[in-house]
Amino acid sequence: MVLCFGDSITEGRPGATYLKYVKPRKQYKNFGLGGDTLIGMTKRVARAIDDPKYSGVKTIIIGIGTNDVLHPFLKNYARSWTRIVDGLVLRGSVPCEDEAEFRERYEILLKMLKQAGKEVIIFGIPLLETDIAELNQKAVSYNEIIKELCGKFMSTYLDIMSFQREVKSRQNNKGTCFFSKNVFEPVILAILTTYLPFTDMVSKRRGLAVSVDGVHMNTVSAKGLAGLIDNAVQIR
């Protein structure tokens, strides 16, 4: 069994999850939680490590950080989003305040996993198909931190952002998108892309190459990440 921790990118709501395409699919367990952050997910990982039913698990896949980038922005984006972010914080999905805290918290996570004797595969924050420069730069900076710490702790780093950039470049795609200030739109999007087979249709209609809304993966991205993970698991 391989435990897969993360946020909505892993959960696959909205959009597509890589866990639909990994092989063999049945050996992977989805611990994705929409809206979760590095701090929130670390607590969930700690509980799983201490759970006797997962004592035999050797490999853990981590994909986290997108909401550490998004939540501080969304909190001031619209009043409706402020309420959602505040609710997630109350739940325990607290975003890191800055790069320094993100680095510190991520190092704590990797130390914990190393001490537990787990083999760790980490994929970076996906490409944000948005024209909001501060979010794009923050995602890149956080990925640099993740990659550096993976080297320090001998963990496998998968650069999904570079894969997505290559896809977007090959298509000569300039499309961008970001969340609507109407918070009901993500609910509709989840229905269309998670529970109905319209993921790629939504992505195409919005002029996007690798996501359904500027953040969450379409099928191309999910399959690409699954391929990277398949290769990493086989090597280990």
Per-residue pLDDT, 46: 98
Please, what is the Cα angle at 60 between 57 and 64, to 5 degrees? 155
Sequence-ordered list of residues with C-beta below 8 angstroms from that of 17, at least 6 positions apart, any chain: 9, 10, 11, 30, 32, 217, 222
Residue 65 zone, left/alpha/beta (φ > 0; ψ -120 to 50; rest): left
Below-50 pLDDT ranges, the chain: none
Determine the pLDDT at residue 234. 80
In what helix (H) or strand (E) does residue 3 lie, and over which residues does it extend?
A: strand 2-6
3-state DSSP assignment of residue 4: strand
Query: How far is residue 170's CA from residue 164's CA, in Å, rounded to a whole number?
Result: 10
Q: What is the pTM of this model?
A: 0.95
What average pLDDT does the chain have? 96
**16-35 tens-digit pLDDT:** 999 999 999 899 999 999 99
pLDDT confidence of residue 236 = 60
Helices (H), 12-96: 38-50, 66-74, 79-91
pLDDT computed for residue 186 by the predictor: 84
For the chain, the domains span 2-235
Give pLDDT, residue 182. Answer: 87
For the beta carbon of residue 79, count every other beta carbon within 10 angstroms. Answer: 9
Is domain 2-235 annotated with CATH 3.40.50.2300?
no
